[in-house]
């Protein structure tokens, strides 16, 4: 395991633990007074617990998606993630506290009142200590649930160990999957063991010993730990303090320079392109770059850019035209034209799409669309090469007839985009033996190669196409618009850091489709990291040579006669 990966694991573990600890603490702060309030009010208890149960049944990704539309939460990042985790932890904590209080014998309450204790004192000194075992068991359940659910928050840019899992799925990399799964499991097991030991060691003591254990306001706590319980509590403190300190050590150092945030979607090519922008900025400016990669879908990363959570990322013109700007699909190319005419018309379409998208991005969103990096990554309708040779398939139109006996699988985004499956099926008359399956884009390639499906929509520069012996069918009706890779930045960010303009513009035309496919294959097949691949390519092409940033130096010359 490389030192870079180890440092990132420490950083992501710290992010993971901090968010889980904050969410569980907030849930506990809400559950304690709410549980006390509803435990003697059956109707209110049914309403509150029923609402919490409904929240628990909603898939976590759906909760994250719903919270993205709440302006106060900032759209993406740790805030909506903490809110979602807090909602998930509420139900077990509420049930544990209400159940524990309900199991306290009624005679305890009556005895306390007979001794002159008021209602609050009975609750604090008698009922609540006896409910601690039930509450601690619920706290263990809530903590373990939160650790597991927190891995999914990487899809909304909240960081944590889920970043490795999403990267591993996108690149079919088991090392990255284990880098996310094993530390997450270790955190869950360690927290559960510490809380379990703490639960066993908490014991109610006689009133004579309560004077040593008081709240700042003078209320006795009502229970006490032996030395083993204190060791468990100390372990929890170490877990909550040491890992965040390791995160600060392993994470990027703060410095006096300004920070630029570069984003990327959650698949191999986007990780490479995001890393390319980041390394170029770091090498040629004093700016510090924060990487917010694996943000998920196009709409999520665009929203992050529009809201200022990131400063720039790489988009594709066809995606910008149809998915973000909601422009109609391009008209089909005439089939009667000669090849030269079709190529010329395609280039005219490419220039028109970029020019119009460039203008609309600036007018609608205050974003600047840069010229192409030099390659196009269009949707690729893929089949197995053996099937293409056996059936003589070359174009999408050729696959219409056999597709009626085929199974298809597409990524979630392709199934819902304006330039996705519905329009493709309508233009070509595509029908399958059953509705297409929806799965993560990175898994569709393996599903096709393993024979579980017969047709997918991948991306044309993916390194797995050649490795898995897949064949791309020609888009003979010209359904897909041009998909040139173009950096897009906030105009406000470029005004703050005008040096970024020259750095991004010097990447224009630097990458060919073949080069991009080779870089993707180096990550997907050779198990190299995007950082290593980009660093080597920059060295080979001469980009790694640092270019000094022009600095205006004012020399003050004293006037004659002045000291």
pLDDT given for residue 215 in this prediction: 41
Q: How remote is the C-alpha of 204 from its chain's centroid?
A: 44
Spatial distance between the Cα atoms of 563 and 557, rounded to a whole number of angstroms = 11
Side-chain half-sphere CA neighbours of 454 within 13 A: 17
Question: The domain that contains 101 carries what CATH number?
Answer: 1.10.3720.10
pLDDT given for residue 61 in this prediction: 62
Q: Considering the domain boundaries, does residue 546 fall inside one?
A: no
Same structural domain, 213 and 360: no
What's the token pair of residue 456? 């997918």
Same structural domain, 368 and 391: no
Domain end point (choices 250, 272, 290): 250
pLDDT given for residue 442 in this prediction: 76
Same structural domain, 220 and 321: no
| Radius of gyration for the chain, computed over Cα atoms and rounded to the nearest angstrom | 29
Same structural domain, 60 and 30: yes
Q: Considering the domain boundaries, does residue 556 fall inside one?
A: no
Spatial distance between the Cα atoms of 222 and 422, rounded to a whole number of angstroms = 65
Measured CA to CA in angstroms, residue 423 lies from 56, 319, 353, 417 at distances of 36, 14, 19, 9
Judge whether 513 and 460 are in contact, CB under 8 Å. yes
pLDDT given for residue 339 in this prediction: 61
Domain end point (choices 455, 473, 491): 473
- Please report the DSSP string for 439-461 in residue order: --HHHHHHHHHTTS-SEEEEETT
Question: The domain that contains 411 carries what CATH number?
Answer: 3.40.190.120
Same structural domain, 60 and 78: yes
Measured CA to CA in angstroms, residue 242 lies from 21, 175, 234, 252, 267 at distances of 13, 25, 12, 17, 32
Same structural domain, 226 and 291: no
Q: Considering the domain boundaries, does residue 45 fall inside one?
A: yes
pLDDT given for residue 152 in this prediction: 79
Q: Considering the domain boundaries, does residue 38 fall inside one?
A: yes
Same structural domain, 288 and 394: no
Q: Considering the domain boundaries, does residue 175 fall inside one?
A: yes
Same structural domain, 395 and 439: yes
Q: Considering the domain boundaries, does residue 551 fall inside one?
A: no
User: Which alpha helices (H) appear in 39-161, and where do they start and end?
Assistant: 42-57, 60-68, 78-102, 106-114, 119-122, 128-150
List 458's β-bridge partners, or say none. Answer: 380
What's the token pair of residue 251? 């994470």
Report the 10 Å Cβ neighbour count for 467.
Answer: 13
Number of domains in the chain: 3
| 3-state SS, one letter per residue, for 332-382 | CCCCCCCHHHHHHHHHHHHHHHHHHHHHHHHHHHCEEECCCCCCECCEEEE
Same structural domain, 370 and 384: no
Mean pLDDT by 10 residues, the chain (563 residues): 74 86 88 82 84 76 64 66 86 85 72 67 71 85 89 75 77 77 90 82 48 42 45 52 46 56 88 95 92 79 86 94 85 63 79 94 95 93 95 94 95 83 91 90 88 93 88 89 94 94 94 92 83 93 64 41 38
Question: The domain that contains 525 carries what CATH number?
Answer: 3.40.190.10
Same structural domain, 328 and 201: no
Domain end point (choices 473, 503, 525): 473
- Residue 534: domain span: 259-374+482-541
pLDDT given for residue 562 in this prediction: 37
Same structural domain, 134 and 202: yes
């Amino acid at each position: 395991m490389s030192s870079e990966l180890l440092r990132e694991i420490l950083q992501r573990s710290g992010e993971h633990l901090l968010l889980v600890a904050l969410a569980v603490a907030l849930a506990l702060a809400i559950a304690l007074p709410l549980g006390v309030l509803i435990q003697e009010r059956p109707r209110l208890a049914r309403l509150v617990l029923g609402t919490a149960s409904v929240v628990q049944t909603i898939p976590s990704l759906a909760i994250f998606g719903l919270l993205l539309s709440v302006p106060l939460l900032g759209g993406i990042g740790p805030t909506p993630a903490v809110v979602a985790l807090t909602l998930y932890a509420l139900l077990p904590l509420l049930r544990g506290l209400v159940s524990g209080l309900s199991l306290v014998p009624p005679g305890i309450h009556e005895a306390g009142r007979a001794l002159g204790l008021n209602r609050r004192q009975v609750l604090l000194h008698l009922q609540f200590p006896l409910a601690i075992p039930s509450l601690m068991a619920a706290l263990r359940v809530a903590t373990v649930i939160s650790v597991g659910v927190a891995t999914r928050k990487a899809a909304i840019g909240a960081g944590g160990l889920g970043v490795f899992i999403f990267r591993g799925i996108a690149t079919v990399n088991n090392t990255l999957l284990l880098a996310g799964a094993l530390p997450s499991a270790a955190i869950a097991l360690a927290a559960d063991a510490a809380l379990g030991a703490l639960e066993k060691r908490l014991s109610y003591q006689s009133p004579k010993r309560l004077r040593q254990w008081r709240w700042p306001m003078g209320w006795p706590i009502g229970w006490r730990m032996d030395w083993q319980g204190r060791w468990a509590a100390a372990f929890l403190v170490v877990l909550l303090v040491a890992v965040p300190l390791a995160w600060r050590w392993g994470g990027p150092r703060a410095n006096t320079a300004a920070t630029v945030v570069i984003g990327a979607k959650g698949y191999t090519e986007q990780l490479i392109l995001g890393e390319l922008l980041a390394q170029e900025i770091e090498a040629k400016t004093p700016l510090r770059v924060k990487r917010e990669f694996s943000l998920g879908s196009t709409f999520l990363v665009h929203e992050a850019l529009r809201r200022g959570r990131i400063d720039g990322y790489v988009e594709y013109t066809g995606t910008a035209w149809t998915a973000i700007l909601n422009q109609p699909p391009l008209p089909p190319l005439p089939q009667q034209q000669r090849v030269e005419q079709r190529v010329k018309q395609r280039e005219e379409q490419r220039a028109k799409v970029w020019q119009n998208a460039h203008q609309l991005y600036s007018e609608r969103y205050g974003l600047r669309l840069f010229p192409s990096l030099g390659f196009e990554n269009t949707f690729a309708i893929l089949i197995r090469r053996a099937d293409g040779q056996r059936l003589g398939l070359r174009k999408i139109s050729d696959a219409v007839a056999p597709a009626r006996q085929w199974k298809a699988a597409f990524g979630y985004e392709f199934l819902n985009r304006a330039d996705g499956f519905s329009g493709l099926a309508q233009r070509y008359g595509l029908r399958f033996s059953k509705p297409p399956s929806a799965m993560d884009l990175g898994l569709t390639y393996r599903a096709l190669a393993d024979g579980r499906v017969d047709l997918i929509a991948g991306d044309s520069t993916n390194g797995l196409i050649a490795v898995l012996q897949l064949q791309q069918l020609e888009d003979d009706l010209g359904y897909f618009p041009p998909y040139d890779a173009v950096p897009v930045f906030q105009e406000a960010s470029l005004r703050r850091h005008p040096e970024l303009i020259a750095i991004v513009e010097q990447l224009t035309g630097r990458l060919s489709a073949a080069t991009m496919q080779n870089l993707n294959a180096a990550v997907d097949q050779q198990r190299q990291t995007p950082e290593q691949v980009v660093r080597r390519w920059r060295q080979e092409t001469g980009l790694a040579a640092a270019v000094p940033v022009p600095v205006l130096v004012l020399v003050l010359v004293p006037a004659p006669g002045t000291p």
